[in-house]
Amino acid sequence: MSQVNIRREGRAGRMTLTRPEALNALSHEMSLQIEAALRSWAEDPEVALVVLDAEGDKAFCAGGDIREMYDTGRAGDYAYGRTFWRDEYRMNALMAEYPKPVVSFLNGFVMGGGVGVGCHASHRVVGESARIAMPECGIGLVPDVGGSLLLARAPGRLGAYLGLTGARMGPGDAIHAGFADHYLPEAGWEAAKAALCETGTTAPLLKAARPAPVSRLAENQDYIDALFASGTLPGIRAALSEESGDDIADRALKALETGCPLSMAATLELLERLHGEEDIRKALSLEFRFTARAMEHGDFIEGIRAQIIDRDRKPRWRHGLDVTPETVSAMLAPLEQDLTFDAP
């Protein structure tokens, strides 16, 4: 049974993720189905725009389906994970560069792989239940699926804050940070989708959108910028420790002390390299260098074991917060077979 409901409605190509029982976790098959649909509609004159949503009220997509990556990687087979990421990233690039409007409706959890599907659309709609995050540093990866580019574009030091801590953004925060564009209460979504399909234009959406809710990130922008100003893990930890008793600082410090140091240090390096960058392909290529090595030379398998398999929440990371720049550079060095974006 297909995990993505792909069909035509009026002037629109429709894609609905259909794994609500798994929080619409993105499988390898789903990535390939989404890519194939986008390619088939790109030159179809009957399709004026694409509408992307998901079944269920808990999650648009809570991340990638990584169980098989864990199982194969633990057995010493790293090829499956690399193929999954390669194909997923190619789909992310296609979504970001798509020649027609893509409207995504983001509700509930939108994390990791869900960001790659929904947050590179040209028109990103968030409802009141949206909780958007990039929590990869907690499992031994880096913010990927093009998320590193979104973080690098975020105002001030928000990219470092969101990338290192995996903090969840509500609808107002997501719009402020650049992960979404429009706020529309979820009660109005079905009418908006119907109007998009009927007209083949985004005008009904723009008319229906409402002012964004207050953003806690915007309210605390200067404070967060100061806390993450050093750009190094030891420096950030010191700044957070000095603010003991403050909710934002305490939560960030806890995340810093439990997250994967290699992943967090590489995330800071990615943000530095991508500052001012507009090309998602550069971001995806850098991310792939890390993820392709994450099982064999990083902490991905241990991170998944601790957070998802055994759930003891006690990962044994390879490095401390003083991880060396040379170690980070090795994870981001060119691969013998670097990422390509040609369709198979």
Contact 187, 113 (CB under 8 A): no
> Is position 13 within any domain?
yes
The alpha-helical segments, DSSP class H, found in 28-77 are 28-42, 67-74
**What confidence tier does 344 reach under pLDDT thresholds 50, 70, 90?**
low
Q: What is the 3-state secondary structure (H, E, C) of 1-34?
A: CCCEEEEEECCEEEEEECCHHHCCCECHHHHHHH
> Is position 194 within any domain?
yes
> Is position 242 within any domain?
yes
> Is position 71 within any domain?
yes
- What CATH number does the domain containing 142 carry? 3.90.226.10
Span 134-156, mean pLDDT? 98
Span 229-246, mean pLDDT? 96
Q: What is the pLDDT of residue 305?
A: 95
Span 229-252, mean pLDDT? 96
Given a cut of 70, is residue 295 above it in pLDDT? yes
> Is position 130 within any domain?
yes
> Is position 343 within any domain?
no
**pLDDT-above-70 percentage for the chain:** 99
> Is position 314 within any domain?
yes
The structure tokens listed for 176 are 């402020």
Q: What is the pLDDT of residue 337?
A: 82
> What is the per-residue pLDDT across 35-50, written as a single tens digit (0 to 9) for each?
999 999 999 999 999 9
**What confidence tier does 89 reach under pLDDT thresholds 50, 70, 90?**
very high
What is the pTM assigned to this prediction?
A: 0.96
Q: What is the pLDDT of residue 2?
A: 84
The count of structural domains within the chain is 1
Span 255-275, mean pLDDT? 97
Range of the domain at 66: 4-331
> Is position 271 within any domain?
yes
Q: What is the pLDDT of residue 339?
A: 82
**pLDDT-above-90 percentage for the chain:** 94
Alpha carbon distance 104, 174 (integer Å): 14
Q: What is the pLDDT of residue 247?
A: 95
**What confidence tier does 1 reach under pLDDT thresholds 50, 70, 90?**
low
